[in-house]
């Protein structure tokens, strides 16, 4: 309790500090003038490639959802995105202004596997009809001028499409694809839904981070790529593009120093306002709750799996055969020698690349494996700490090897193991925060999503910090109770 108050006070002071960041009114009018400045670009996009040629621009490659936040916070001075995106962003927050536009005119299309010509043709047919009937015009205008009411209208008036499953790989980017009330909505989702309704498919949307999209298509993890993908010759070599459904160009924007400087609100008003924007509007709290559940899910199962694996590895590690023991030793040391993030990525993009398995399961396997290796060493140290004489006495009394283990060695080993185990479990829970890297919607990633929409970094981050602190403390106390029980049985 005290700590939370302390934390709040600390961070409120930072709020005050971050309010007063000055900004020079510099307005570039071309790409060349961006030299020496920080520019945010969507990772892996054509803009990214284009700007990479300019060596003296400080490029910040981040996800599409992060762009506006980065500019708002001053981490990046400018950002380059699709004009449609900028327009939608500006609708939400007037604090941005366009610097120049009309760059990199291009078209966006769906991505298919080279051999899925039939599917591609069906979509092209749908698209043609969509354009011809004038629906395309209405669709485009509705979404670009008023996405929220469009989203509500779409939700209310149409039923979700049914039929054969079709996995669609997407990336979150307002207003093309975003989460509204925990459900996906947006320009492109609407279009895809319409197509599926007509063609008799049931779309399963799957968030994939942009660099992993094309490989995901190849490995049949998804069937279609729907992520406002610009058509380029290099990409066309790898995948089959549909006819373009969107035409646009890139613009560059920055922070508007004049509009909307933070008005001097009272503290309580700011807090209430923050709660309103971040939690209540758009039911973001549901997203957070979902994220929390995912975090808990991954944590719990990872703990169970890692304990199990740790026990198994430990068993093999302590065999007399040096082959088995040595092999397990090498395995454990290797897994421990690389970051858990890299293990996660290997699992996600190499081992399970071809399968349909959910990101949560991959995460559970990764953490289970990594911490399994950690626990293997821990359990081994605990077992070795039991005096050899204990085994001998047990054997001399006539107990079988497993009985000696169960009744004598293990309870004593626990004494050594439990204190360190406590720390490792908390460590495991904390490291689940990285699963956002492979697009799993855990608590941390949920806060990123909210942050990207409300442009407020402070509130979501502080909120989840508090949640993590409470979580760690709870688990810590639970384990302390376990430790006491383990030790108490000794005293009796």
Partner 1 sequence: MYSCFLSSLKALTAGPFGQRIRESIVANLITEDRWRIMLDGLFTTLQVSMLSIVFASIWGAALCAMRMSRQRFLHKPAGIYVDLMRSLPLMILLLVSFYIIFAATNLSKVQIVVACFSMYFGAYFCEIFRTGVEGVDKGQREAGSALGLSRPQVFGRIVLPQAVLRILPVFKVQMTALIKSTSIVGYVSVIDITKAGDYMRARTFDAFFPLLLVAVIYFILTWVFGLGIDVAERKLTPKSRSI
**Cβ neighbours of 162 (radius 10 Å):** 10
Q: Residue 231 has what DSSP assignment?
A: P
Whether residue 362 contacts residue 348, with contact meaning beta carbons closer than 8 Å, is answered with yes
Return the closest-CA partner of residue 443 out of 242, 291, 272, 298.
Answer: 291
Task: Return the number of the residue (53 or 492) whose C-beta is nearest partner 1.
Answer: 53
Q: Which segments of 182-281 does DSSP mark as H helices, in order?
A: 187-199, 213-218, 233-238, 267-275
**How many residues of this chain bind partner 1 (CB under 8 A)?**
60
C-alpha R_g of the chain? 27
Per CB under 8 A, 316 contacts partner 1: no
Q: Residue 405 has what DSSP assignment?
A: I
Stretch that binds partner 1, among 101-109, 119-127, 188-196, 457-465 (CB under 8 A): 457-465
Return the closest-CA partner of residue 426 out of 376, 466, 371, 364.
Answer: 371
Using the rule CB under 8 A, which residue among 240, 353, 381, 395 binds partner 1? Answer: 353
Length of the chain as a residue count = 492
In whole angstroms, give the CA distance from residue 431 to residue 435. Answer: 8
Q: Three-state DSSP class for 4?
A: helix
Per CB under 8 A, 152 contacts partner 1: no
Q: Quote the least distance from Cβ 214 to partner 1, whole Å.
A: 5
Using the rule CB under 8 A, which residue among 103, 125, 345, 399 binds partner 1? Answer: 345
Per CB under 8 A, 334 contacts partner 1: yes
Using the rule CB under 8 A, which residue among 37, 54, 62, 271 binds partner 1? Answer: 62
Per CB under 8 A, 458 contacts partner 1: yes
Using the rule CB under 8 A, which residue among 25, 74, 260, 400 binds partner 1? Answer: 74
In whole angstroms, give the CA distance from residue 302 to residue 89. Answer: 38
Binding mask 29-58 for partner 1 (x = CB under 8 A): --------------xx--------------
Q: CB within 8 A of 283, min separation 6: which ones?
A: 181, 182
Beta pairing partners, 374: none
Whether residue 443 contacts residue 468, with contact meaning beta carbons closer than 8 Å, is answered with yes
Which helix (H) or strand (E) covers residue 386, if one does? none
Q: Quote the least distance from Cβ 146 to partner 1, whole Å.
A: 29
Task: Return the number of the residue (5 or 323) whose C-beta is nearest partner 1.
Answer: 5
Per CB under 8 A, 257 contacts partner 1: no
Task: Return the number of the residue (191 or 438) whose C-beta is nearest partner 1.
Answer: 438
Q: Quote the least distance from Cβ 457 to partner 1, whole Å.
A: 4
Per CB under 8 A, 167 contacts partner 1: no
Tell me whether the omega of the peptide bond preceding residue 175 falls within 30 degrees of 0, making it cis: yes
Stretch that binds partner 1, among 3-11, 151-159, 284-292, 324-332 (CB under 8 A): 3-11
Using the rule CB under 8 A, which residue among 169, 431, 449, 454 binds partner 1? Answer: 431
Per CB under 8 A, 464 contacts partner 1: yes
SS (HEC) of 87-154: HHHHHHCCCEEEEEEEEEEEEEEEEECCCCHHHHHHHHHHHHHHHHCCHHHHHHHHHHHCHHHHHHHH
Q: Quote the least distance from Cβ 480 to partner 1, whole Å.
A: 14
Stretch that binds partner 1, among 115-123, 169-177, 409-417, 459-467 (CB under 8 A): 459-467
In whole angstroms, give the CA distance from residue 186 to residue 150. Answer: 8
Q: Quote the least distance from Cβ 424 to partner 1, whole Å.
A: 11
Task: Return the number of the residue (315 or 458) whose C-beta is nearest partner 1.
Answer: 458
DSSP string, 152-163: HHHHHH-PPP-S
Per CB under 8 A, 73 contacts partner 1: yes
Using the rule CB under 8 A, which residue among 90, 136, 218, 415 binds partner 1? Answer: 218
Task: Return the number of the residue (473 or 490) whose C-beta is nearest partner 1.
Answer: 473
Per CB under 8 A, 211 contacts partner 1: yes
Per CB under 8 A, 326 contacts partner 1: no
Q: How far is CA 10 from CA 15, 397, 448, in A?
A: 9, 62, 22
Q: Quote the least distance from Cβ 298 to partner 1, whole Å.
A: 13
Using the rule CB under 8 A, which residue among 141, 220, 401, 430 binds partner 1? Answer: 430
Q: Quote the least distance from Cβ 468 to partner 1, whole Å.
A: 6
CA 102 to chain centre: 31
In whole angstroms, give the CA distance from residue 450 to residue 30. Answer: 32
Q: Quote the least distance from Cβ 429 to partner 1, whole Å.
A: 8
Per CB under 8 A, 11 contacts partner 1: yes
Stretch that binds partner 1, among 212-220, 250-258, 265-273, 356-364 (CB under 8 A): 212-220
Q: CB within 8 A of 122, min separation 6: which ones?
A: 199
Per CB under 8 A, 18 contacts partner 1: yes
Q: Residue 169 — φ and ψ, nearest 5°?
A: -85, 130
Binding site for partner 1 (CB under 8 A): 2-3, 6-7, 11, 14-15, 17-18, 20-21, 43-44, 60-62, 69, 73-75, 210-212, 214-215, 218, 238, 334, 337-342, 345-346, 349-350, 353, 426, 430-434, 436-437, 444, 448, 451, 457-458, 461-462, 464-465, 468-469, 472-473
């Amino acid at each position: 309790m005290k700590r939370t108050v302390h934390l709040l006070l600390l961070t409120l002071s930072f709020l005050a500090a971050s309010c007063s960041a000055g900004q020079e009114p510099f307005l570039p009018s071309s790409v060349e003038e961006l030299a020496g400045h920080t520019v945010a670009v969507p990772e892996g996009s054509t803009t990214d490639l284009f700007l990479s040629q300019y060596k003296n621009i400080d490029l910040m490659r981040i996800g599409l959802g992060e762009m506006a936040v980065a500019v708002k916070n001053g981490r990046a001075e400018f950002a380059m995105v699709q004009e449609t995106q900028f327009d939608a962003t500006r609708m939400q927050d007037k604090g941005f202004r366009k610097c120049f536009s009309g760059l990199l005119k291009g078209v966006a299309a769906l991505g298919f596997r080279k051999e899925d010509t039939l599917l591609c043709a069906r979509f092209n047919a749908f698209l043609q009809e969509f354009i011809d009937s004038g629906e395309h015009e209405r669709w485009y205008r509705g979404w670009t001028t008023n996405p929220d009411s469009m989203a509500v209208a779409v939700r209310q008036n149409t039923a979700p499409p049914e039929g054969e499953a079709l996995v669609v790989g997407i990336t979150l980017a307002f207003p093309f694809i975003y989460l509204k009330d925990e459900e996906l909505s947006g320009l492109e989702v609407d279009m895809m839904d319409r197509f599926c309704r007509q063609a008799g498919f049931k779309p399963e949307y799957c968030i994939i981070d942009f660099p992993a999209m094309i490989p995901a298509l190849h490995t049949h993890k998804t069937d279609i790529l729907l992520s406002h993908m610009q058509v380029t010759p290099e990409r066309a070599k790898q995948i089959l593009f549909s006819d373009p459904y969107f035409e646009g160009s890139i613009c560059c924007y920055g922070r508007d120093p004049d509009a909307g400087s933070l008005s001097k609100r009272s503290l309580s008003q700011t807090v209430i306002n923050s709660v309103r924007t971040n939690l209540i509007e758009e039911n973001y709290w549901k997203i957070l709750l979902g994220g929390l559940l995912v975090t808990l899910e991954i944590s719990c199962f990872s703990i169970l799996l890692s304990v199990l694996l740790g026990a198994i590895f430990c068993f093999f590690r302590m065999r007399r055969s040096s082959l088995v023991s040595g092999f397990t030793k090498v395995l454990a040391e290797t897994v421990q020698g690389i970051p858990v993030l890299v293990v996660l990525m290997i699992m996600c993009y190499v081992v399970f690349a071809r399968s349909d398995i959910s990101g949560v399961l991959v995460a559970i396997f990764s953490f289970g494996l990594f911490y399994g290796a950690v626990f293997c060493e821990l359990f081994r140290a605990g077992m070795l700490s039991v005096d050899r004489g204990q085994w001998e006495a047990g054997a001399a009394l006539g107990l079988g090897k497993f009985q000696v283990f169960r009744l004598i060695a293990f309870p004593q080993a626990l004494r050594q193991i439990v204190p360190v185990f406590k720390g490792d479990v908390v460590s495991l829970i904390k490291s689940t925060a990285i699963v956002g890297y492979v697009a799993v919607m855990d608590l941390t990633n949920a806060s990123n999503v909210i942050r990207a929409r409300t442009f407020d970094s402070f509130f979501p981050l502080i909120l989840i910090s508090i949640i993590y602190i409470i979580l760690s403390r709870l688990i810590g106390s639970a384990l302390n109770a376990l430790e006491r029980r383990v030790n108490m049985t000794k005293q009796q």
